[in-house]
C-alpha cells in the first residue's frame, strides 16, 4: 500500500517527496517533507 500511496498525488524530486501528509514517510533514501512546512520555510531541500 505504501508504494501505491507514494505514486499518487505526490511531488517526487531528487530523492524527496513533498506531500500534504503530516507524518514522516521517509525510507530507503527517500526523504519525505510536508509541502506546507517547505513552503513556510520550516524545512529545506539539500540539493547537491
Q: Look up the domain containing 10 and give its range.
A: 2-39
Q: Is residue 8 part of a domain?
A: yes
Check residue 10 and give its pLDDT: 59
Q: Is residue 18 part of a domain?
A: yes
Output the CA–CA distances (angstroms, integers) from residue 40 to 3, 8, 22, 24, in the order listed.
Answer: 27, 23, 14, 17
Better-scored residue on pLDDT, 1 or 24: 24
Q: pLDDT, tens digit, for every residue of 3-17?
A: 555 544 455 667 888
Quote the CA–CA distance of 30 and 32 in Å, as a whole number.
Answer: 7
Number of domains in the chain: 1
pLDDT at 41 over 60: yes
pLDDT at 29 over 50: yes
Q: Is residue 6 part of a domain?
A: yes
Check residue 15 and give its pLDDT: 81
Amino acid at each position: 500500500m505504501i508504494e501505491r500511496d507514494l505514486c499518487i498525488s505526490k511531488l517526487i524530486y531528487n530523492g524527496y517527496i513533498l506531500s500534504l501528509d503530516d507524518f514522516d514517510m521517509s525510507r530507503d533514501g527517500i526523504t519525505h517533507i510536508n509541502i506546507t512546512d517547505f513552503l513556510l520555510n520550516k524545512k529545506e531541500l539539500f540539493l547537491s
